[in-house]
Amino acid sequence: MYFSVCLCLVICILYLWLRYKLSYWERRGAPSLPVNFFSSELKWLVMKQSRFQYFKDIYDQLAPHKYGGYSVMPLKMMVRDPEIIKFVLTKEFESFSSREKLFFTKSDPLTHFIFNLEGNEWKDTRARLTPGFSSGKLKYMFDLIAECADEMDKSLHINEDRQLVDVCKVLRLYVMNVIFTCTYGLKVNSMKNGCDIFLKMAGLIRGDNEINRKLANFSFIFPSAIRHYIRPSTFGEYSRDFFKGIIMDSIKYREENDIKRNDFLQIFMTLMKAEDEFKWTIDKTLAHGILYIMAGFSTTTSAVSFLLYEMAKHPDMQKKVHKELDEIMEEFDGTLNYECVSNTNYLNKVISETMRKYSVISSFSRRCTSTCTLPDGFVVEKGTAVVVSVSGLHHDPAYYPDPLKFDPERFNEENKNARHPYCFLPFGAGPRYCIGERFSMLMIKAATFTILKKFSVSVLPEHEIEFDFMPNKLTTEVPSIKLQFTHRQRTTDIQ
């Protein structure tokens, strides 16, 4: 009897506590979605729904409100209004300077890359890494990217008039080549031998393991439970030792042979030798080498793959790109260089529209580090995660009519000036915008130049893709895109 009474009392207390917690947004007078772990949220957690669709659904369901809550454990709200997004990301950055951490554990130094850092440690790290992504540094580094693009070009043995090519597979090898060359100072010759071991290791780093992906998904919903009690092994010892060995061998070889190279590893080596209070260690070098794989591998591969697919679907737009590339290549005597990719106009629109429609990064967030009042008077309490749905913004008909239509002219000067700039956020915004934006754009443009300067691409009906993405990825991806490659004659030659 006594046990039954105690059990009932515990259940009642738990019920009342849960009701109180679940009514958080209602008590605060904020719009919100019902907290229901058995619908869309569960689909995302067990990887039955893509992140792209998950965050777009929340964005759509919160309409027409400027913001609203959708989670209470932990506290999460989504901001939909571009002006409030600007307020959070830029104007009140000091109150929203932290992120939700990715694969982070305090005991694992390899998760202490810039994405996960906070406060002065983030500021110091950002200040030291930023010069490596300047126009001047990237201009020198572009020669390395161009070499990888040339290797991709030579690997495309298109002998028939029309040949089917899995562009995702080709571009994965190209991007891996670029990242390993520019980050680790290592030529892996991926286009020649496929480099299964490097692809496998890169896959482990990117979370190509179902258990780790599920733990990562749960960490966004229950971060304290996952990070402090379950403590998933983010990077296995094998992959850790593999990449650390590469970096240590490369550093040793350069030091012994007095070699300097225009790449990220050289920047890391300079930071390690700096005599100041900020200690850049080999673990920091390895952590950021891992970050560049995580951040750049799938995103760049997907962006170029989707771009080529849209060109295959829209021959008229492809002809415009061909014409622009031919004119630029003729101006620079057929040599792919930094000036070539810096002089594009129509291609810039095509890339922007690709990033809008496919939103490779579907969302990002900022965590409130000190209680802050929004312009309309609503108080965001410390610890609340403020989420921006990139896929939602980029597919909002209010900003982009007929959002599933591919239309590069959305990004002509007139249309861009008519829109709020915070309606287009492929790389984030504010002081914590993606530090690798320029580097990523150079990879995208180099690959696009290399393929479209020689080939026309088309798609057969049986190889058309649905606008539905892989549910088990942090980025917007499809497993394969197969296009027909056909040799073409340059438009300048025809004239």
Q: Which residues are annotated as a binding site for heme?
A: 434
Q: Identity (one letter) of the amino acid at 425?
A: L
Q: Which token pair is 426?
A: 């492929």
Which residues define the annotated binding site? 434
* Helix residue spans in 156-236 (DSSP H): 167-184, 190-193, 196-205, 210-221, 223-225
Enumerate the β-bridge partners of residue 32.
69
CA–CA dist 158, 167 (Å, integer): 13
Summarize the chain as % helix, strand, coil (round to 5). 60, 10, 35
Question: What are the φ/ψ torsions at residue 67 (nearest 5 degrees)?
Answer: -160, 170
Angle between helix axes 346-358 and 315-331 (nearest 10 degrees) is 140
For the beta carbon of residue 30, count every other beta carbon within 10 angstroms: 16
Q: What is the Cβ-side half-sphere exposure of residue 244, based on CA atoms within 13 angstroms? A: 14
Q: Which token pair is 336?
A: 């792919």
- Give the pairing type, strands 363-367 and 385-389: antiparallel
Q: Which token pair is 381?
A: 């309490």
- Give the pairing type, strands 385-389 and 75-79: parallel
End-to-end CA distance of the chain: 96
